[in-house]
Amino acid sequence: MRIRPIAESDLGELQALSRETGVGFTSLPDNREFLAAKIAAAVSAFEERVPADRRNYFFVLEDETSGHLAGCCAIEGEVGRETPFYHYRVGTLAHSSVQLDLHRTIDSLFLCSDHTGDAEVASLFLRPEYRGGDRHHERNGALLSMMRWLFMAEFRDRFPDKVLAEMRGVFDEQGRSPFWHCLGSHFFPLDFSDADRLTGLGQKSFIGELMPKYPIYTPFLSEEARDCIGRVHEQTRPALAMLKKEGLRWEGYIDIFDGGPTVEAYIDDVRSVRLSRRCRAEIDPTASGEADSRPRWLAATTGMAEFRAAWVGRGPDDAGVIRLSPDEATRLEVATGADLRILDTEEEG
Amino acid sequence: MLVVRPAVSTDLPALERLAADAVPQLTNLPAHRDRLEERIARSRQAFAAEVAFPGDEHYTFVLEDPERGEAVGTATIRAQAGARDAYYTYRQETLIHASQQLNVRREVQTLALSHEVSEASLLCAYSLEPRYRGTSAESLLRRARLMFIAQYPERFAGILAMAFPGFLDGAGESPFWNSVGRHFFMRDYQEINALAGIRSKSFIAEVMPQFPLYLPLLTPQARAAIGREHPDHEVALAEMLAEGFLRSRHVDIFDAGPVIKAERERLQSFRRAAWHPVRIRPAHALPDAEPAMVANQRLGDFCCVVARYALSPTGQLMLSPEHAERLGVEEGRAVLAAPLALPGMGEGGVEERDPGYDEGEL
């Protein structure tokens, strides 16, 4: 399994993959034209033919033995530059009066675009058959998630100060969002999935046009809706845990549709950005073909258009040399002497 | 013969009783002895002061039943609704949320805190013993204040406003308060209303939500209560609408009761009020005529009664010796009179009419 930039020839596979994503996954609509444009934009981003603040780096996880796509993920160079990027900020207002012997704080939701200009890690999807369990697929999700930090560390000058990740919010058994039901549905003549789909298609101007501009006092929301604020979908918990381990924190920003949390950090503070380091590759035919223990070391190449990332079976030696098996070298498309960025994912940060 | 006159200190026990019996309990007429004593003193000062323009004067009147020798009703004019502090209301506003992309246009209603009514003169703190309800005394007490304002226009604002108690359910609960204010105060409506009466209402308003409220987020019961008067005040509201007041976009911040407003020159009682020299005739010799409010031309000894609008061919108002004496006028002195009946108000009370709507330009 390896990570590489998406290519024009991936369109069919990407569309198949998009059909497997569900409600709440806005960035991969099942729309061939849209996906083709997305690929084209990603290709020009990796080739650095567009300014850094307009780039959407879209990666795929490839099963190089079968040629199938197992998953995908993305990094947005700077959000909110072409279309507005909205959040609710959960703020606290004090309502207090000495004469009334009253002191109460009220949570309020403020519509904002505070994250304009931040980088975003997004669109992570792993096909169910490539998840967990099977030894062969172990830590595929971690590969998709963590290789982005290596990419950002390697191309640090292309990214702004901060990075964020939007986490999927809470939905009930019927797939309804209580937060949307209580708030958004009053202002949008659409159901959640339509609104979500339009957002995914990048047609976000309707949000600014229809969304309430004044702060929302949360006591006016139903209890179910209030419970959604800053809470993630059950299936999103592992992803959130992984990001938290990297140092991303919830600072009170939530999705305006489902109330899910947005976590954020200064890129330089992200654990894997800090801990990853450059090493030199050396191909060693005696190195075992596959790691025989749980994947630990993550390796990424240093070219942008030819970016590759994969698990490798061992870490670098004291001299900063990392030995690769011939299979690993083939997967990463590197020869002896090439630079690699290596991360020990179990190192205490 | 019932008369409306300024409140004096001996009216205190009656005011206490009227405040306690008001339905519902009025924020601006708290049943609190010290506050009522202050109210009378403040009113005495206002009547005695030389005033060139409206300020923080409060003029409190009582309806006196001479047969009982006591006040049986009371009403107040605040020369400026928010003279020292702001007078808070919620203003109903409409925002258009439209998206060309989605081809939709949606009207979203909000309530925004407003101080706009602060400059108006406020007719308030009305309470009448139940047994006088439905009699001409009810209208007299309510509208004698207009006769006073007509005589001393410099003391009042060009725009008059009135806030009616809002809708309460069968249990005496305000659905609006329960959906809005309670979140911020953690106290029930009656409790906060009592507090507001003893302290000032505006400092409580400072704890109210300062950002506009989106109506779709309120409970249906709360939305239904917006601009809806307390059932016991339906007739009073209808009468003032017939006077020429218009419903406004403003509602009370606690219970969402309606606030009505008018340019005073447009009110029936102003437009139809006329000065007449007095001619005194024995009661039995007075011709039959429609009832009118008749007020003397005095400030501190202001007095207004209901009498027949019997005019002589030369335009003199014929009054019985009793009325003349009560008003303190001799033959030849002028009094101000205006018909008690209002167009659109039938004998039975309320007639269906379009009350109009103040679109905010008032």
A103 is catalytic: no
Task: Judge whether residue A230 has pLDDT over 70.
Answer: yes
Closest by CA to B172, choosing from B7, B25, B27, B16, is B25
CB contact under 8 A, B101 and A205: yes
Smallest CA–CA distance, residue B36 to chain A, in Å, is: 21
CB contact under 8 A, B217 and A190: no
ipTM of the complex in this document:
0.77
What six digits make up the tokens of B282?
């024995």
Closest by CA to A23, choosing from A194, A219, A242, is A194
According to DSSP, the β-strands at A277-283 and B274-280 are: unpaired
Out of A203, A211, A215, the one facing B211 most closely (by C-beta) is A215
Closest by CA to A87, choosing from A199, A201, A1, is A199
Out of B106, B213, B217, the one facing A189 most closely (by C-beta) is B106
Whole-model pTM?
Answer: 0.82
Smallest CA–CA distance, residue B208 to chain A, in Å, is: 8
Q: What is the pLDDT of residue A189?
A: 77
The alpha carbon dihedral of A109, A110, A111, A116 has a sign of negative
The kind and range of the H/E element at B204 are helix B201-205
Distance between alpha carbon B269 and the CA centroid of its chain, in Å? 14
Task: Judge whether residue B350 has pLDDT over 50.
Answer: no
CB contact under 8 A, A220 and B183: yes
Residues of B in contact with A205 (CB under 8 A): 99, 101
Mean local confidence (pLDDT), A67-73: 93
**Catalytic residue selected from A87, A115, A137, A233:** A233
Residues facing A87 on adjacent strands? A112
CB B3 within 8 A of CB B304: yes
DSSP labels for A3-16?
Answer: EEE--GGGHHHHHH
CB B296 within 8 A of CB B354: no
Angstrom distance (rounded) from CA A220 to CA A21: 33
CB B86 within 8 A of CB B113: no
Mean local confidence (pLDDT), A154-167: 96
Angstrom distance (rounded) from CA B55 to CA A239: 64
CB contact under 8 A, A187 and B218: no
CB contact under 8 A, B211 and A190: no
Q: State which amino acid sits at residue A64.
A: E
- DSSP 8-state class, residue B166: B
Tokens 């990001």 -> residue: A243
Angstrom distance (rounded) from CA B257 to CA B225: 8
The kind and range of the H/E element at B234 are helix B234-243
Q: Comparing A294 with A183, which gets the higher pLDDT?
A: A183
C-alpha separations of A328 from A200, A301, A343 in Å:
36, 12, 15
Q: What is the pLDDT of residue B352?
A: 47
The kind and range of the H/E element at B151 are helix B136-151
Out of B101, B199, B213, the one facing A206 most closely (by C-beta) is B101
pLDDT digit string (tens) for B185-225?
878 888 877 777 766 666 677 788 889 999 999 999 999 99
Smallest CA–CA distance, residue B261 to chain A, in Å, is: 28
pLDDT band at A67 (very low <50, low <70, confident <90, very high): confident
Task: Judge whether residue B125 has pLDDT over 50.
Answer: yes
